Amino acid sequence: MDYENKLVLAPMVRVGTLPFRLLAAHYGADITYGEEIIDHKMIKCERRINEHVGAVDFVEKGTDNVVFRTCSLEKNQVVFQMGTSNAVRALSAAQLVCQDVAAIDINMGCPKSFSISGGMGAALLKKPDLIHDILTTLRRNLDIPITCKIRLLNSSQDTVELARRIETTGVSALAVHGRRVADRPRDPAKWSEIADVVAALSVPVIANGDIFEYEDFHHIKVATGASSVMVARGALWNASIFSADGKLPWEEVKREYVRKSISWDNDIKSTKHTLKEMIMHYSCLELPEGKAVIKSDTLADLAKLYGEEKYNQFVQEKRLFDGSR
C-alpha cells in the first residue's frame, strides 16, 4: 500500500459495505475503508467463499449473518477497519481477514457511545500505552500495513505527542480527523492542527475533515501538507466527488449504487440506510422517493423504484446460469 497522493474513502458505519466501496473506487477513490467492525464480532466469524456472488464472506458461525464481505476487485485497496480495546483480540480478528484485504486500520476516533463504552474508538485516545500495545502486536505478527485513525486531542501539542508515540509503533500511515471528540459535524475541521501533526511526523498523514468538492482535496493538502486526503460525508452524499471530471448528478450516482448493491447482493437494511442518507442531504424522506425507499423490502423493490428492473433480472438470470454449470 502506497499512501502518497491518494484519495481515500473514510470508514462509515452501515455505509462502507462492498457496493459503496466499489462505487467510490469506480469514481476514482484509490483506497477504500470498510465500516468499523468490532473485534468481538469478527472473532465469531468464519471465512466462506460466496460463489453465488463471487465474494469472500466473513459469516457469524452458526448463522447466515455476513459481518464483512469483500472481493478480488478491491483486494489491493480495501482497508479493514477494526474497533478494539485489546491487543490479543485485535490480532485474532486481523488474522482472519488479513489475506483478503490491503491493510488493517484501528479506529481511535469514533465518539459514539457504543464504541467508547467498550473502551474502543475515541476512548483509546486517553490510553497511549494500550494504543502502543495494540499497534505493535499487529505490526509484529502481520505482513500487511497497519494504520490507525485518530481525532484531535484538547491541544495541538497533545495531538502531536500522541501521533509521535503512534509513529514509533511502525504504522504505515496515520489518518487524522480534524475535529475533537466533543465537536459536531457542523463545527469546522481544524486543518491547521492537522498541519502540526504532519510537520512532526515522517510517516504519511491522511487528512480528514470538510471535503465536499473535488477541489477540496487540493485545498486541504496545501493547507496541511498531508500525504493523502480522506472524505466521508462528501462521498456519502455523492460518491463521484472522487472524479477529476467533476461530480455526476446525484440521481445517476444513486442508480449506480443500486446496481452495485444488486450485483453484490448487499443487505437490504444497509442499502436502504445509505440511500436514505443520500436522499436526506438533497431532499426529504417525506417525499415520494423517500417513502418508497422506506417501504422497500427487497433489492428487487429498489430496482423497480430506480428503473433497474432489467439489470436486476439480468443479474438473477446470470446467477442461475452460473450455478447450473
226-270 per-position pLDDT tens digit: 999 999 999 999 999 999 999 999 999 999 999 999 999 999 999
Hey, which residues are catalytic here?
Answer: 110
Mean of the pLDDT values across residues 163-168? Answer: 98
Q: Please, what sign has the CA dihedral across residues 95, 97, 102, 105? A: negative
Are 85 and 110 contacting, i.e. CB atoms less than 8 angstroms apart?
A: no
Dist. CA 158–CA 37, nearest whole Å: 28
Q: Could you tell me the pLDDT band of residue 112, with boundaries at 50, 70 and 90? A: confident
Cell readout for 145 is 500495513
**pLDDT exceeds cutoff 60 at 196:** yes
pLDDT in tens, 151-162: 999 999 999 999
Residue 228 has which C-alpha cell?
A: 493523502
Q: Could you identify the residue written with the cell 472524479? A: 243
Please tell me the distance from the alpha carbon of residue 222 to that of residue 204, in angstroms, as a whole number. 15
Q: Looking at residue 311, what is its pLDDT?
A: 97
Cα distance between residue 193 and residue 215, in whole Å: 20
**Assigned C-alpha cell, 301:** 423493490
DSSP β-bridge partners for residue 108: 150
**Rounded distance, CA 24 to CA 60, Å?**
27
